[in-house]
Amino acid sequence: MGLLSLVTGKAGSSGFGSASTAEEVAQGINASNLTAIVTGGASGIGAETVRVLALRGAHVIIGVRNVDAGKAVKDDILRQTKGARVDVLPLDLSSMESVKKFANDFHALNLPLNILINNAGVMFCPFKLSEDGLEMHFATNHVGHFLLTNLLLDNMKKTAKETGVEGRVVNLSSVAHFLTYDEGIQFNRINDESGYSDKKAYGQSKLANILHAKELSRRLKEEGANVTANSVHPGFIMTSLMRHSMNLMRFLNFFSRFLWKSVPQGAATTCYVALHPDLKGVGGKYFDDCNEVNPSLFAQDKDLAMKLWDFSMRLIK
């Protein structure tokens, strides 16, 4: 969209821009026939995404590590929106066992699935390995969502086939995917503490989110499934995700206030890509400020996307 559009809020070709809110982009959309899962929906833009989807009538399942926080979001939405349908299930994306349990718990509800929003994540955290032995950014932001998507995809395909309603997978990435390691994805050094950079590790995981959506989209199209997959950059929003670098974020916010969004604005691109009818049939794209933009060269690399897919499949198996 460009810096000028970001600063002014000028709308792009979609009719929306950086100043648009999640409620605005979903205005007039009836989602009462849709079931959606939002990971990390207990705070920040995740909670706002849940609220707006529920406001438009969707049945929303929040997958969240802090179940009490998820229930608080649910209760708040139910107070605001009469007849809203929101449920909460425990989910720790850094644990493959937890991801599998969440998928089993969801399947036990015997619900259809139209929308999967892979929203949760960690950011700029100190070096740490997950219980599965993977660097925490890569484990939580990419591998957990990759596994979750794989476990839920058959349900999404079945739902789309039986209802005729297109399914949508939305991966939350970030413009930070431009700042990654020299080779893009360090396949042979994912867990290398000696060369660890919290900024590059985060960027690597966000690059993986885009490549995942890109390769998933290619496979879905090849299969003829009525499901799309895209990735989004929500914008710069001051949320608890930044807790490991809060002082730095406050410093940057002080000197660049015009670049930062409110939480309702930050959730807009996610809701646009998940709900808007103009994106019917659109897959494998990257969106910023509710408009399609070009990601980094690494993120456009089809061979890298396929290599990451194969690598990720080995990890989850």
What residues are annotated to the active site? 196
How far apart CA 290 and CA 295 sit, in angstroms, is 14
SS (H, E, C) the chain: CCHHHHHHCCCCCCCCCCCCCHHHHCCCCCCCCCEEEEECCCCHHHHHHHHHHHHCCCEEEEEECCHHHHHHHHHHHHHHCCCCEEEEEECCCCCHHHHHHHHHHHHHCCCCCCEEEECCCCCCCCCCECCCCCEHHHHHHHHHHHHHHHHHHHHHHHHHHHHCCCEEEEEECCHHHHCCECCECCCCCCCCCCCCCHHHHHHHHHHHHHHHHHHHHHHHHHHCCCEEEEEEECCECCCHHHHHHHHHHHHHHHHCHHHECCHHHHCHHHHHHHHCHHHCCCCCCEEECCEEECCCCHHHCHHHHHHHHHHHHHHHC
Report the relative pairing of strands 85-90 and 286-288 from DSSP bridges. Answer: unpaired
Round to whole Å and give the CA distance between 290 and 304: 26
CA geometry: angle 153, 158, 161, nearest 5 deg: 125
**Nearest in space to 5 (alpha carbons), one of 285, 288, 250:** 288
